[in-house]
Amino acid sequence: MFDTPDFDDHEEVVSVSCARSGLRAIIALHSTALGPALGGIRCWSYDSGTAATRDALRLSRGMTYKNALAGLDLGGGKAVILGDPATARSPAALHAFAGAVDRLDGRYIGAEDVGMTVADIDLMRDVTPHVAGTSWGAAASGDPSPHTAEGVFLALKATVAAATGSDDLTDARVGVMGLGAVGWKLAERLRAEGARLLVSDVNVTRVTRAAAQLDADIVDPRRLPFEPMDVFVPCALGGVLTRDFAETAPVRIVCGAANNQLATPDVDAALWEAGKLYAPDYLVNAGGVINVAAEASGEYDAYRVGVAVREIGATAARVLETARREDRPTGAVADAMALARIEGAREERRRRA
Ligand code: NAD
């Protein structure tokens, strides 16, 4: 583990196995400098234990940066449960996993991620209080996707304003890839602002509905990133921003909810050099984690969640302005801002010790 490129001085990495339930899992705590490490629990059929470890290391580091830039007093962590989500999530396995989370004594707070459901988190809450994103209880935060959509929308307006001098979306050509929980809400909002929508989804029902209800043009998912448009909004899978996209796509702005949009880290600089304004994914899609963090605090306050989500637009504007002033790629600027906050907290911790 120490030799993989994804290891970044992670504070603690725990492997969990339970012969009785068949559970095999990894919990990675990248940093607790700003507070307990909050991050999702993913269930996935990895090719190997090494692949699962690398994913946990990479994703937990990403959560440190995301939580820091969202202004949360939380560090970054992530857990992966190895196995097919259809069979690896038995109640016995989830209880065993929750026991491991509990033994971390609040240093890690788990939430729903790919391959998991809210019902799984509810089940774990029978064993540990250190999970969030549950469906019941006084602090239950519910569906995070409206908050994610709202944050992306505000960041998108800030990015359009930074690129054109105005955040008016009337008649802007906007391509939304993925019309799921977040993408659909965004598409509705963008249409209401007067944008002309191009949409794609592998789910035919969703694109057909968008054509009928939002007057959207349907485009094949492979073609959409390369259509001439003002704003590309990735809301499906990661890795859509390739060097080819950066160098050839007739697109001015990228701002969407999908995680890990850059296919490789060098695409950040390639987008900047090509004059495409990219709003860093982990900055703009933090609305969901802000909502879950409110539950983790023990007292869900909808007003404070709203204020923190609205701040995403202002943070995006700050990142874009700094990138322009310093002529630096936007992803690099966002990383530096997040790191400055984390380093400040580490320094403070060292002083107190
Ligand atoms: P979702 O599963 O509800 O929707 C994803 C949509 O993308 C589905 O409609 C699916 O059919 C479509 N899709 C899948 N593969 C596709 C492809 N190749 N081309 C076009 N469409 C495709 O997910 P969601 O909750 O809307 O999240 C969307 C993205 O945003 C994901 O990357 C997720 O990790 C990220 N994200 C979501 C949240 C949240 O609050 N839900 C928070 C942060 C980040």
Domains and CATH numbers, the chain: 12-64+75-125 (3.40.50.10860), 145-286+314-338 (3.40.50.720)
- Does the reported pTM lie above 0.75? yes
CA-CA distances (angstroms) from residue 346 to 34, 47, 341, 349? Answer: 8, 36, 9, 5
- Does 179 contact ligand 1 (Cβ within 6 A)? yes
pLDDT number for residue 192: 98
What pLDDT does 142 receive? 84
Q: In this structure, what are the phi and psi dihedrals at residue 136, rounded to the nearest 5 degrees?
A: -140, 165
Under a CB-based contact definition with an 8 Å cutoff, are residues 101 and 79 in contact? Answer: yes
**Residues 242, 246, 248: CA angle, nearest 5 degrees:** 110
> Which of the listed residues 44, 117, 141, 148 should we mutate to test ligand 1's pocket, taking the one with most ligand atoms within 8 A of CB?
148
Centre of ligand 1 to C-alpha 236, Å, is: 4
Q: How far is Cα 10 from Cα 92, in angstroms, rounded to an integer?
A: 29
* Rounded-to-integer distance, Cα 149 and Cα 144, Å: 9
Name the closest-CA residue to atom 35, ligand 1: 258
| Residue 78 designated active-site | yes
168 exposure class (CB count in 10 Å sphere: 0-12, 13-18, 19+)? middle
Ligand 1: does its nearest atom lie under 6 Å from the Cβ of 199? no
**Interval between CA 352 and ligand 1 midpoint (Å):** 42
| Residue 177, ligand 1, Cβ within 6 A | yes
Q: With a 6 A CB cut-off, is 259 part of the ligand 1 pocket?
A: yes
Q: Which entry of 78, 157, 185, 276 is annotated as an active-site residue?
A: 78
CB of 53 sitting under 6 A from ligand 1 = no
pLDDT for res 346: 87
Q: Is 180 in the pocket of ligand 1 (CB under 6 A)?
A: yes
- Rounded to 5 degrees, φ, ψ at 225 are -60, -20
Q: Which amino acid is at 342?
A: I
Give the pLDDT of residue 77: 98
Give the distance from CA 34 to its chain's centroid: 18
Ligand 1 center from residue 180 Cα (angstroms): 5
pLDDT in tens, the chain (353 residues): 899 999 999 999 999 999 999 999 999 999 999 999 999 999 999 999 999 999 999 999 999 999 999 999 999 999 999 999 999 999 999 999 999 999 999 999 999 998 999 999 999 999 999 999 999 888 899 889 999 999 999 999 999 999 999 999 999 999 999 999 999 999 999 999 999 999 999 999 999 999 999 999 999 999 999 999 999 999 998 899 999 999 999 999 999 999 989 999 999 999 999 999 999 999 999 999 999 999 999 889 999 999 999 999 999 999 999 999 999 999 999 999 999 999 998 898 889 88
Can you give the pLDDT at residue 138? 83
